[in-house]
């Protein structure tokens, strides 16, 4: 009976639901879930030392996950990252797998072997953080965009660079990044 019910739900819909649940769980592991367990109120991150420690831990965890995830996806799907086009494709595949089919926000705007421009006009993650009223300073966007992606691409190929040029958390209407491949 249960299998029959699941079979009525299209695979694409199941994937979307799973991605949303996993993302919600990730959000809840912070302020909303941890605060009561630590005997604190909703504003768990108000003391400065707690904020700094949370950001430090989050940066380390996200950095390691991003680099390992990039290597895993590159190998699993045999995506060459010998130029900016390959790097942009890897980015697109990894982000789609992380956030599910609702994630249509990182689009490849420009792609040549030397340079690729990625743009996120409608950020799935930003929308979810807004729904949970997570303050922008606790969203992992800055860590992911300014540390994880640059370090991940450099680890895959030292000739690749990733640089964020626009960001919602800087006040821009969308995020935009440039991947460059430089023969040196």
Asked whether 101 and 16 are in contact (CB, 8 A), the reply is yes
Res 136: pLDDT: 76
- Quickly state the pLDDT bin for 75 (edges 50, 70, 90): confident
Res 41: pLDDT: 46
What CATH number did the domain enclosing 95 receive?
3.30.1380
User: Token pair 């919600």 is at which residue?
Assistant: 24
Give the mean pLDDT of 106-120: 93
Res 57: pLDDT: 65
Res 172: pLDDT: 92
Number of domains in the chain: 1
Mean pLDDT is lowest, of 5-19, 32-46, 59-73, 74-88, for 32-46
Provide Rg for the chain, Cα atoms.
18
Query: Which domain does 45 fall in, by range?
Result: 2-181
Res 39: pLDDT: 41
**pTM of the model as a whole:** 0.72
Q: Does the pLDDT value for residue 160 go beyond 50? A: yes
Mean pLDDT of the chain: 76
């Amino acid at each position: 009976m249960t299998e029959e019910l699941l079979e009525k739900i299209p695979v694409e819909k199941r994937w979307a639901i799973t991605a949303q649940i996993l993302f919600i769980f990730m959000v809840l592991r912070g302020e909303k879930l941890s605060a009561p367990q630590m005997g604190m109120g909703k504003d768990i991150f108000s003391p400065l030392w707690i904020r700094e420690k949370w950001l430090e831990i989050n940066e380390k965890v996200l950095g390691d996950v991003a680099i390992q995830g990039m290597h895993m996806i590159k190998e699993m799907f045999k995506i060459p990252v010998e130029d900016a086009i390959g790097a942009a494709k890897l980015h697109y595949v990894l982000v789609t797998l992380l956030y599910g089919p609702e994630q249509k926000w990182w689009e490849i705007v420009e792609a040549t072997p030397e340079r690729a421009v990625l743009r996120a006009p409608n950020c799935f993650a930003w929308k979810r953080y807004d729904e949970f009223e997570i303050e922008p300073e606790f969203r992992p966007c800055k860590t992911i965009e300014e540390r994880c992606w640059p370090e991940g691409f450099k680890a895959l190929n030292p000739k690749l660079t990733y640089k964020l040029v626009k960001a919602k958390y800087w006040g821009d209407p969308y995020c935009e990044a440039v991947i460059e491949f430089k023969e040196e």
